[in-house]
Structure 1
Amino acid sequence: MQEQTFLNDIANQFGSAESSIVDFLINIFITIILSYIIGLVYSKYGNSLSNRKKLMQTFVLISVTVMLVISIVKSSLALSLGLVGALSIVRFRTAIKEPEELVYFFVAIALGLGMGANQRIVTLTGAIVIILYIVIQNMNSVRHAVQQNLIVTIANTSDKGLDENVILELLRNHCSKIELRRLDDINNSTELSLNVEFNDFESIIKAKNDLKSIGDIQFSFIENY
């Protein structure tokens, strides 16, 4: 009993007190709205090769889950210490391939932490600043350009004169912007993952025809949405 009282006293010194049900409902509603907005921003302005519309759906779940955990453990130092021990056995089996995805996951987690700790003003201010920064950063991008994710696979057994530089040089004739996202050497083949930008749809068709004519390669144009 004395040990439990001692732990509660320490928790109270750090401002960890149980929230009312009204505060909890307000916080969870704000968390859902903010994380959903962050997901929309990621879907519109993100550049990762993964399916952003599906990934954005996880942001709300991550934020609400983190907020729920923090809301529970913040009232008890013993529960907080137990959470540290429980999380030490968690392992992520699927690697996050894009640094951008990791950043947005951290934003979603931060929203849950802030609202779970009942820090509404700080969390709202931080979320607004992050959203404005992302929007302003992308305001200078070309709005009418056609952005595509291009996956090119080159068989290593094909013509030795055909390599990555040939592909990139060909695309420069049709693309206003080329970004090499990944370069993989897998099972006797080389795979290029590119983010490319065309001025119009006709440029995509011309690039496709030129790619077909240069040798034994496979390629896929994927809408950057």
Structure 2
Amino acid sequence: MHQELQQVFNFSITIREVIVNTLLATFCGGIISCFYILTFRGVGYSINLIRSIVMLSMITAFIMMVIGDNLAQAFGMVGILSIIQFRAAMKGAQDFMFLFFALAIGLSCGEGLYTVALAGCFLIGLITIGTAKVLASTKQRYFTLNVIRSATQSDRSQHRTVLSSFCKKYELISTKLSTKGNDSFIRFSYTIRMKNSEDSDSLVYALKAIEGVMEVNLLSEDE
């Protein structure tokens, strides 16, 4: 019984291994954060999530060093972690994927599998970047176009002429009549797919040049 208790509290890891494992986990967490920034396609990424990726790699490495091959400690750690909930706002599946990425690398660092940690970090990261670039090049970009013009000139034929020049596809989704003082205006809302997304400014200027158009707004639907 005494020997079994000694095994429960027996830690064979050295200070040097703790330092090396922690530094490697921190380095890999930083690399994973860089991969996350390079593959992010939204408006703005979360600094807190980037910090969480680095911290998760370090904490997971520490957990693995504490647990080691001790089954009793493993069950105890599972019980402690079961009451912890991750409350950061996730914007999509990619955020969860990078957290699991950091978790896996932290496990490797904590076990002292340095080659596995480094190879996995760079291999998964490079594949993720390559996949993101391929998908970005083939992705069809959709926009929401709002055209506000005077109610006295509500003919949409000029809209269709301009949209046909710049868009592969467009569809009118709503028409709204509003009044402000003695003036009335109509708001046309379209969903469009550009022939070339670089021509978005030209599309806006062409629509603004139409007589009676008061305002043009072009919003990307991509996240």
What amino acid does structure 2 have at the position aligned with 1:171? I
> Which segments of structure 1 move beyond 4 Å, counting only runs of 4 or more?
5-8, 139-143, 148-152, 203-209, 218-224
Contact 1:28 1:67 in 2 (8 A): yes
* Residues in 2 aligned to 1:207 and 1:52: alpha-carbon distance in whole angstroms: 36
- Report the counterpart of residue 4 of structure 1 in structure 2: 5
Q: Give the CA deviation at 1:175.
A: 6.6
Query: Gaps spanning 5+ residues in structure 1: where?
Result: 12-16, 153-160, 177-197
The TM-score with structure 1 as length reference comes to 0.60
Deviations 1:10-39 (A, max 9, x none): x9xxxxx63222222222222112111111
- Report the counterpart of residue 162 of structure 1 in structure 2: 174
- Report the counterpart of residue 120 of structure 2 in structure 1: 126
What amino acid does structure 2 have at the position aligned with 1:77? L
Deviations 1:102-142 (A, max 9, x none): 00000011111110111111121211210221233244477
Alignment of 1:16-31 (within 5 A): 18-31=12-25
1:105 to 68, 90, 99: 99
1:116 to 110, 117, 134: 110
Query: Gaps spanning 5+ residues in structure 2: where?
Result: 146-172, 176-187
- Report the counterpart of residue 187 of structure 1 in structure 2: none
* Residues 1:113 and 1:48: Cα distance change in structure 2 (over 3 Å): farther
What amino acid does structure 1 have at the position aligned with 2:5? Q
* Residues in 2 aligned to 1:19 and 1:6: alpha-carbon distance in whole angstroms: 13
State the secondary structure of the residue aligned to 1:162. Answer: strand
The TM-score with structure 2 as length reference comes to 0.61
* Residues 1:87 and 1:127: Cα distance change in structure 2 (over 3 Å): same
Report the identity percentage.
21
1:41 to 20, 35, 42: 35
* Residues 1:101 and 1:3: Cα distance change in structure 2 (over 3 Å): same
* Residues in 1 aligned to 2:99 and 2:125: alpha-carbon distance in whole angstroms: 14
State the secondary structure of the residue aligned to 1:114. Answer: helix
* Residues in 1 aligned to 2:34 and 2:207: alpha-carbon distance in whole angstroms: 31
Contact 1:18 1:75 in 2 (8 A): no
| Structure ID, larger Rg | 2
Contact 2:25 2:105 in 1 (8 A): yes
Aligned residues: 179
* Residues in 1 aligned to 2:112 and 2:132: alpha-carbon distance in whole angstroms: 32
